[in-house]
Chain A
Amino acid sequence: MKNHLLLPNKCRLIGWVLLPLGLMWLIATSFLNVTVFEWLKVADKSGKQKGIFDTSNTLFSPDFSADLNLTFALVLTFLGLFMVAFAKEKMEDEYVRTVRLHAFQLSVYTNYIVLFLTTIFLYDSAFLVAMEVNLFTILIIFIAVYYYILHIKPRLSKSTEL
């Protein structure tokens, strides 16, 4: 049974190139407060004060304002993670499909466990920050489990001899 929803194998390499670029950009923008590209900052010309829950600030609104550095950093990071996670193996077979399903199931479970815990234990902006971080858990856990079972574990196992 072929899975036509997977990306070509070469996307994995592109993903591994995009991912560190996106992560570095994200860390610089979010944690170090560095504006990587000043021209990506779109200032609001109306001078209105906007709250964190302002739902009118979309790309299509006339008084749109945002730091697009964060937008591009997130897009690049997600794109990198997505390409690494869902690129085909050189040899796709039934075992690879089983491992992929197992890793996917584990990552979705983890995502929901984190969701439950953050809902119960965190409030206000702490909750929002945790939810932002949780956006990455599905793909990160998936990649970690999938790569560990398929590529790292066989190298550590004694049965790799011959």
Chain B
Amino acid sequence: MKNIVKVERARMNLTQADLAEKVSVSRQTIIAIESAKYVPSAILVLKIAKVVGKPVEELFELEDGD
């Protein structure tokens, strides 16, 4: 699953640590999500979408094979 979390986070002027704190996860989790190495749970996706102010389907996009 592709995502534009990194772009939207930068647009909001948030560091990885800031975003991690706002959604109550570790910074490693944000790094793993941004580098598409980890697909977050629905709860975490909704939390991230709320913080960056974007709909989930704009932040995350399914790829072929998903």
Q: Please give the residue numbers on chain A whose beta carbons come within 8 Å of chain B beta carbons, in ascending order.
A: 89-91, 93-96, 98, 150-151, 154, 157, 159-160, 162
Interface of chain A: mostly helix, strand, loop or mixed: helix
CB distance B26 to A96 under 8 Å?
yes
Q: What number of A-B contacts does a CB cutoff of 8 Å give?
A: 44
Q: Are A154's CB and B10's CB within 8 A?
A: no
| B31 engages A94 (CB within 8 Å) | no
The prevalent SS among residues of B at the interface is helix
B44 touches A94 (CB 8 A): yes
Provide the bound-state CA to CA distance between A63 and B56, in Å.
Answer: 71
CA distance A65 to B6 in the complex (A): 63
B26–A91 contact, CB under 8 A? yes
- Give the interface of B toward A (CB within 8 A): 6, 9-10, 15-16, 20, 24-29, 31-35, 38, 40-41, 44
Contact A159 B6 (CB under 8 A): yes
Bound Cα distance A98, B40 (Å)? 10
Please state if A95 and B28 are interface contacts (CB–CB under 8 Å): yes
A69-B4 Cα distance, complex, nearest whole Å? 57
In whole Å, how far is A102's beta carbon from the nearest beta carbon of chain B? 10
In the complex where A162-B10, A162-B16 touch, is A157 in contact with B31 (Cβ < 8 A)?
yes
In Å, the complex CA distance between A3 and B41 comes to 17
User: Is the Cβ of A93 less than 8 Å from the Cβ of B29?
Assistant: yes
Chain A nearest CB, measured from B18 CB (Å) = 9
**A159 is contacted by which of B15, B31, B41, B44 (Cβ under 8 Å)?**
B31
Q: Which residues of B contact A95 (CB under 8 A)?
A: 25-26, 28-29, 32-33, 38, 40
